[in-house]
């Protein structure tokens, strides 16, 4: 296995506050890598750096061996990195179907010149719709295609968000707290779903999670951030017994 994503010495500061200090980590291909840490430790900031929303003050981000820091978020998505947000951000007034139909990249009908010429994009559109239908029946959401995304339940919204990247053909999917705000059993189901997709489609996941009990059952490798610095890494059972980690979480 080789590293699909590599973060090397990334630092970023906002008005003098250093949110990330010299962070280096690797996400191996085909793994489910976890990222944990107390609130405000810089986990979401790291995701924003990887997906191009923030530019790092120093350091590099490599994806499949190519530098991606400095690219725009849409270019990074085109390269095969998809993400979700801590608070789900579906396109609320659009239907579930429309939401999912947006995910595949490089659609011909999305160009202003070709959009009025239906013949040029109809075949592609039907093919995408068939893929969406398969995926929706796999996650048990087929009946919701007409419903505006803002009317979906919390669990279904999470499912919708995690499905988007798969349709876009992403190799690496960053999930920012996939189980926040859903009950324990649903949280487990979301992780089981993620795990089965990972094995079937050979995807790689990098997951921020506060539900450490669930995460540790599924993750291959875990990084721990505290005050913008990596304080520990290793297999879940190693990290769980690390005194530094326990101290950061409990304080003192």
Partner 1 sequence: MFDIFGFLVSWLTLFGIYAILSLCLNMEIGYTGMTNFGLVAFLGIGAFVTGYVSISMFLSLYGYNYPIYSLDAVIAMGQISGKNPLLNLSAFVASLILSFLVSGAIGYLITYPTLRVGPAFLGITILSFGEMLRIFMKHFEPTGGAYGLLGIPNPFAWVPDPALKSQLFMLTTLAILAGVFLYYRKLSESPYGRVLRSIREDEVASLCLGKPVPAVKARLLFVASGISGIAGSLLVFYTGSVSPDMFVTAVTFEVWGMVIVGGRGNHTGALVGAVLFSLLNRVSSALSFLFPGMLFDPNYVRWMLVGVIIVAALMYRPKGIFPEKPIRTEAWNIFEGPATDRGLKKRLLEVLKRSARWLLG
Positions of E strands within the chain? 3-14, 17-28, 32-36, 58-63, 66-67, 81-83, 172-176, 204-208, 221-226, 229-234
Q: Is 119 in the site for partner 1 (CB under 8 A)?
A: no
Residue with tokens 């998809």: 82
Residues 144-183 that bind partner 1 (CB under 8 A): 145-146, 164, 168
Residues 57-86 that bind partner 1 (CB under 8 A): 72-74, 77-78, 82-83, 85
Choose, by CB under 8 A, the member of 125, 195, 220, 233 that binds partner 1.
125
Instruction: Give the number of residues in contact with partner 1, rule: CB under 8 A.
Output: 47
Choose, by CB under 8 A, the member of 11, 21, 28, 53 that binds partner 1.
53
> Looking at the DSSP assignment, which residues form a beta bridge with residue 224?
36, 232
Which tokens in the block code for residue 34?
A: 């976890």
Contacts by 126-134 with C-beta closer than 8 Å and gap 24+? 128/101, 128/104, 128/167, 129/97, 129/101, 131/104, 131/167, 132/97, 132/100, 132/101, 132/167
Residues 197-236 that bind partner 1 (CB under 8 A): none
Q: Is 194 in the site for partner 1 (CB under 8 A)?
A: no
Choose, by CB under 8 A, the member of 18, 98, 195, 220 that binds partner 1.
98
Closest separation in Å from C-beta 111 to partner 1: 7
Closest CA to 215 of 197, 232, 240: 240
Contacting positions for partner 1 (CB under 8 A): 51, 53, 72-74, 77-78, 82-83, 85, 89-95, 97-98, 101-103, 105-112, 115-116, 118, 121-122, 125-126, 128-130, 132-133, 142, 145-146, 164, 168
């Amino acid at each position: 296995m080789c590293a699909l994503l590599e973060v090397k010495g990334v630092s970023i500061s906002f008005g003098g506050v250093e949110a990330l200090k010299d962070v280096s980590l690797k996400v191996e291909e085909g793994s489910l890598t976890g990222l944990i840490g107390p609130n405000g430790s810089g986990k979401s900031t790291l995701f924003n750096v990887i997906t191009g929303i923030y530019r790092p003050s120093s350091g590099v981000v490599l994806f499949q061996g190519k530098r991606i820091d400095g690219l725009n978020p849409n270019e990074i998505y085109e390269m095969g990195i998809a993400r979700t947000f801590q608070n789900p951000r579906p396109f609320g007034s659009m239907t579930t179907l429309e939401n999912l139909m947006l995910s595949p990249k490089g659609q011909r009908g999305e160009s202003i010149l070709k959009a009025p010429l239906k013949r040029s994009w109809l075949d592609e559109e039907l093919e995408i719709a068939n893929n969406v239908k398969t995926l929706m029946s796999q996650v048990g959401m087929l009946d919701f295609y007409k419903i505006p995304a803002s009317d979906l339940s919390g669990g279904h919204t999470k499912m919708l968000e995690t499905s988007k990247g798969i349709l876009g053909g992403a190799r690496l999917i960053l999930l920012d707290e996939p189980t926040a705000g859903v009950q324990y059993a649903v949280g487990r189901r979301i992780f089981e779903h993620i795990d089965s997709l990972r094995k079937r489609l050979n995807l790689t996941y990098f997951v921020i999670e506060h539900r450490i009990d669930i995460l540790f059952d599924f993750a291959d490798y875990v990084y721990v951030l505290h005050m913008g610095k990596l304080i520990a890494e290793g297999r879940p059972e190693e990290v769980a017994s690390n005194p530094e980690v326990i101290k950061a979480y409990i304080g003192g």
